[in-house]
Amino acid sequence: MLTRVKSAVASFMGGVMAGASNGDQPGGSDLPLKFPYSRPEFLGLSPDEIECSADHISRPILILKETKRLPWSTGYAEVINAGKSTLNEDQACCEVMMIRRRSPGSSTPNRTPMSSRRSSLPNGEGLCPRENQVSQDTSDNLTFNYWALFDGHAGSGAAVVASRLLQHHIAMHLHVVTEILCTPNQLPPTCLGEEPVNHHLTPKSQNALTRAASLRGAAGAPGAPASPCAQPTRFFIEKKVSNESLVVGAIENAFKDLDSQIEKEKAVFNISGGCTALVAVCLLGKLYVGNAGDSRAIIIRAGEVIPMSAEFTPESERQRLQFLAYMQPHLLGNEFTHLEFPRRVQRKEVGKRMLYRDFTMSGWAYKTIEDDDLKFPLIYGEGKKARVLATIGVTRGLGDQDLKVHDSNIYIKPFLSCCPEVRVYPLTQCEHGADDVLVMGTDGLWDVLSNQEVSEAVTCFLANCDPDDQHRYTMAAQDLVMRARGVLKDRGWRISNDRLGSGDDISVYIIPLMYGNRPK
């Protein structure tokens, strides 16, 4: 078991190297690729430029050539890893999405609910319709801005698929509630397909509600006839749900749907590995940041740092993982224990007392060691070296359905959640200056720079830029990536104070918030 663990940890710490095993090359599978590997579309790179960007020795930093390619003068920069994987496993996407409003009385989504500012993508499963299929009258449509970063592991396949499709799944789920979101102070229906209790009800439904209210005495005094103008009763509604909650639910369901789609299509397409996902959606004056994985987003406002995500790692989700293993011990394959010990238990310690903790505990206590405690811990290691089932260092993301413990039949996926945590920022309720930004970055940035270091770097850089320069946010993103990558010294990348620089893929958005305050 120990040899198996060492091999698995080495594989994931070192990444998936060149050859057929990485799942990104056609030779890695007999199945066709879902989408070809590339860099973000908005970078506008030629095939030669994409090839040059994959130099693991010089590690050139890629930036936007044209700021107009992204909304709000968003800045973006990226760099490939120092050799841990053949390709850049980070992917990024930025879109302005438009959702057609549902027709009143409709209980099913339109066939073409939304459009994007770009043309249809290949193999897009009909999620992105042609421009001529969309109504030219945008007054009844709902528009949202979308930014996303995906950090792949064991190949870039899942990250590429997620970058092409997640925004469309979000739009599909928002489309179901568009009529509610566009109507202030409207109560949502209690179940999908049931119309909201308001004037949009068909006459037949309105009469049914009125009759029901009369039978229950809710329209007036007991026995009194129901007035045709009376408001329908609320006994069908369990609770009032805010529009904000509906948007959060749409984002959460979009993650789950895409994860299911990847699982199904892995039987048809070569979709390698899995990926973490960090998305930002600006809709109706609020900024929604959804995170599944260990990427991070922060808002920098007047020098203050406002965290907009939390990393999901084996350590941060220890109790959830231990509870699952306790409830379903068969998932551990009789080789792991759900208990945590301060170090690996040795056979000579059976019968002795040692500190431990399980899913019910945030602190530590003593227990007498038994034979079962000699099994390998469900979570082993600390910090960036912590692993679930000695295999993977993140606990949320998309894909990974076929990931197993090395040389075993134990699947990792039951312990990996695709559900994001969504945080909401009231964008239009705050005044923002030109230097107030949302910074989104993959873990390659945050592994070597703290929130405060990023805040100070961005604030200082923007303060020295011309406020009218539309490239200032791209240059700030480039500066951040350069700080995290460092410079090549003595065969290693070094940053300030001679610390080790990031050898991982790094992708960074810098999004100015002042554009979110402007009226549409």
Residue 212 has pLDDT above 80, yes or no: no
Dist CA 415 CA 336 (whole Å): 13
Distance CA 159, CA 35 (A): 10
117 and 265 part of one domain: yes
- In this model, does residue 3 exceed pLDDT 80? no
Specify whether 88 is located in the same domain as 228: no
Residue (of 176, 243, 185, 239) closest to 426 by Cα position: 243
Domain assignment present for residue 408? The answer is: no
Residue 237 pLDDT > 60? no
Arithmetic mean of pLDDT, 43-53: 92
Q: What pLDDT score was predicted for residue 506?
A: 97
Of the candidates 452, 92, 91, the residue with the CA atom closest to the CA atom of residue 298: 452
Specify whether 172 is located in the same domain as 222.
no
Average pLDDT over residues 47-76: 91
Q: Assess contact for 321 and 327: CB atoms under 8 A.
A: no
Q: Say if residues 485 and 502 touch (Cβ distance below 8 Å).
A: yes
| CA 305 to mean position of chain CA atoms | 21
pLDDT class of 1 with cuts at 50, 70, 90: low
Question: Same structural domain for residues 205 and 257?
Answer: no
How far is the first Cα of the chain from the last one, in angstroms, to the nearest whole number? Answer: 60
Burial of residue 306 (number of CB atoms within 10 Å: 0-12, 13-18, 19+): middle
pLDDT, averaged across the chain = 81
- Choose from 16-20, 43-47, 224-228 the range with maximum mean pLDDT: 43-47
Give the model's confidence band at 407: pLDDT under 50 very low, under 70 low, under 90 confident, else very high: confident
Lowest mean pLDDT across 99-108, 142-151, 390-399 = 99-108
Instruction: Encode pLDDT of 149-186 as tens digits.
Output: 999 999 999 999 999 999 999 999 999 988 888 775 44
Average pLDDT on 330-346 reads 94
253 has a pLDDT exceeding 70: yes
Which residues pair with residue 281 across a beta bridge?
146, 288
Q: Is the residue at 327 inside a domain?
A: yes
pLDDT at 28: 55
The residues that bridge with 95 in the sheet, in sequence order, are: 146
The pLDDT of residue 135 is 36
Is a pLDDT exceeding 50 seen at residue 13? no
How confident is the model over 470-492, as a mean pLDDT?
92
Widest CA span in the chain: 90
Q: Residue 240: its pLDDT value, please? A: 84
Predicted pLDDT of residue 485: 96
| Rounded CA separation 181/247 (Å) | 9
- DSSP, collapsed to helix, strand or coil, labels residue 326 as helix
**For residue 460, is pLDDT > 60?**
yes
- For residue 12, pLDDT beyond 50: no
Residues 31 and 77 in one domain: yes
- What is the DSSP code (8-state) at residue 103? P
Residue 357 pLDDT? 95
> Does residue 481 sit in the same domain as residue 497?
yes
Domain coverage including residue 230: 198-236
* Separation CA 182–CA 139 (nearest Å): 11
Q: Is the pLDDT of residue 119 over 70?
A: no
DSSP secondary structure string for all residues of 474-505:
HHHHHHHHHHHH-EEETTEEE-GGG-B---S-
| Length of the chain, in residues | 520
Q: What is the CATH number of the domain that holds 124?
A: 3.60.40.10
Is 409 inside a domain boundary?
no
Dist. CA 196–CA 180, nearest whole Å:
8
Q: Could you tell me if 49 and 150 lie in one domain?
A: yes
Answer yes or no: is pLDDT of 66 > 90: no
292, 330: one domain: no
Q: Rg of the Cα trace of the chain?
A: 26
Tell me the pTM: 0.81
In a domain, 399, yes or no: no
Looking at per-residue confidence, does 245 or 201 come out higher?
A: 245
What per-residue confidence (pLDDT) applies to 142?
87
The pLDDT, as a whole number, for residue 309 is 97
Please report whether residue 118 resides in a domain.
Answer: yes
* Alpha-helical segments (H) within 298-432: 318-327
When divided into structural domains, the chain yields a total of 3
The residue whose two tokens read 């984002």 is 251
Q: Give the pLDDT score at 114.
A: 53
Q: Is residue 187 part of a domain?
A: no
Q: Give the pLDDT confidence score for residue 69 in this predicted structure.
A: 84
Residues 453 and 480: beta-carbon distance below 8 Å: no
Mind listing the pLDDT tens digit for each residue in 274-292? 999 999 999 999 999 999 9
- Domain assignment present for 212: yes
153 and 178 together in one domain: yes
**Whether residues 324 and 432 fall in one domain:** no
451 with 506, same domain: the answer is yes
